[in-house]
Homo-oligomer: A and B are copies of this chain.
Amino acid sequence: MVIKAGVVGGTGYTGAELLRLLATHPQVELALVTSRSQAGSGVAEMFPNLRGHLELSFSAPDDEALRSCDVVFFATPNGVAMEMAPDLLAAGVRVIDLAADFRIRDPAEWERWYGVAHACPDLLDQAVYGLPEVNRTALREARLVACPGCYPTAVQLGFLPLLEERVVEPGRLIADVKSGVSGAGRKAAVATLLAECSESMKAYAVPGHRHLPEIRQGLDAVSEARVGLVFVPHLTPMIRGIHATLYATLKAEPAGLQELFEQRYRGEPFVDVLPPGSHPETRSVKGGNVCRIAVHRPQGGEMVVVLAVIDNLVKGAAGQAIQNMNLMYGLNESAGLEAVASLP
């Protein structure tokens, strides 16, 4: 089977990574990449790593051409996919959105955090949240997939086993998460210049970050009570990688935290539970579609500490999008995603 894929956007970092992965996916024919601003110029002029691997030029947005695809990925700013998805879905095209448009089920909540009314709230019900470790069955039938954000992927994968098994207090969760700078996107900005954010570290958006409601929604769905979560993102001087350090309070003496995690993720192709005592490094997942997790209980106390790392552009974005596509089309879930992370 060859799947004809289109990409809307594609000039940002999740787009670049998506193109890199699609270019060598054995069952994908990449038919077009649209960009209003770059129409006519070669994709590989903007991303020279693609020279020799992708001969396409960016094309102007073209509804007709997009409707001829099997699947269309949106690697666009928030708010674009919700304008174009209804027409594509009506034409029988499947849609995978890497932005936030279909992540939040409650349109009022979406509007509260994203500042505009949702363009197609009626589609929210059929959108499947693209975290295969939670929604694999639904994803096989999905026509519209909302890929999780990078922070939400790491935080949910780290907390899920604890909440599902009811071993921690859901009201006292803390996610202290560190992200590489590519998470801020490929747009001209002073704050993410090398001379500004290299050799430095800072928290940001402590009062409230848009990924907070998304994480809460995902955790609420598996929790016995509404979760209470403090989420503090940090900007870290590296390009790729997310390191989530998660804190939860044990409700009772657990049977075995290590076993709990190993059992939850047994058979998962892209979640790797490390041996007891491990400290995952983000570089161990750089360029790979995998989340590595370790679980600790410092000094045998009441606090569980979970360490979860992903590459924000792969398992946190483009790789996960392809994993979702593989599920939607009944392909091998790992097709096009077998690359080993690059180290050093």
Classify chain A: how many residues form its interface, as a range. 35 or more
The answer to whether the Cβ of A292 comes within 8 Å of any Cβ in the partner chain is yes
The answer to whether the Cβ of A113 comes within 8 Å of any Cβ in the partner chain is no
Q: What is the CA–CA distance of A231 and B298 in the complex, to the nearest angstrom?
A: 9
Contact A200 B48 (CB under 8 A): no
Give the residue of B178, B190, B239, B286 whose beta carbon is less than 8 angstroms from that of A234: B178
- Which residues of chain A from 148 to 163 have a CB within 8 Å of any chain B CB? none
Residues of B within 8 A of A51 (CB): 272, 274, 284, 292
A241 and B199 contact, Cβ closer than 8 Å, known pairs A49-B341, A178-B178, A339-B24: yes
The answer to whether the Cβ of A277 comes within 8 Å of any Cβ in the partner chain is yes
Residues of B within 8 A of A90 (CB): none
Give the residue of B206, B239, B241, B299 whose beta carbon is less than 8 angstroms from that of A296: B206
The answer to whether the Cβ of A188 comes within 8 Å of any Cβ in the partner chain is yes
The answer to whether the Cβ of A252 comes within 8 Å of any Cβ in the partner chain is no
Contact B200 A298 (CB under 8 A): no
- Which residues of chain A from 236 to 252 have a CB within 8 Å of any chain B CB? 236-241, 243, 245, 247, 249
- Which residues of chain A from 279 to 335 have a CB within 8 Å of any chain B CB? 279-288, 290, 292, 296, 298-299, 301, 303, 305, 307, 309, 313
The answer to whether the Cβ of A8 comes within 8 Å of any Cβ in the partner chain is no
Give the residue of B20, B53, B234, B298 whose beta carbon is less than 8 angstroms from that of A208: B298
Q: What is the CA–CA distance of A321 and B190 in the complex, to the nearest angstrom?
A: 25
Q: CB-nearest residue of chain B relative to A11? A: B190
Contact A202 B282 (CB under 8 A): yes
Contact B23 A194 (CB under 8 A): no
Contact A195 B344 (CB under 8 A): yes
The answer to whether the Cβ of A222 comes within 8 Å of any Cβ in the partner chain is no
Contact A48 B340 (CB under 8 A): no
Residues of B within 8 A of A194 (CB): 181, 192-194, 196-198, 237, 239
Q: What is the CA–CA distance of A50 and B272 in the complex, to the nearest angstrom?
A: 11
Contact A240 B199 (CB under 8 A): yes
A241 and B201 contact, Cβ closer than 8 Å, known pairs A206-B305, A234-B178: yes
The answer to whether the Cβ of A124 comes within 8 Å of any Cβ in the partner chain is no
Smallest distance from the beta carbon of A235 to chain B beta carbons, Å? 9
The answer to whether the Cβ of A13 comes within 8 Å of any Cβ in the partner chain is yes
In the A-B complex, list the 10 residue pairs whose CB atoms are closest, starting with the nearest.
A200-B283, A49-B341, A48-B284, A49-B343, A188-B188, A194-B194, A176-B176, A202-B281, A182-B195, A195-B344
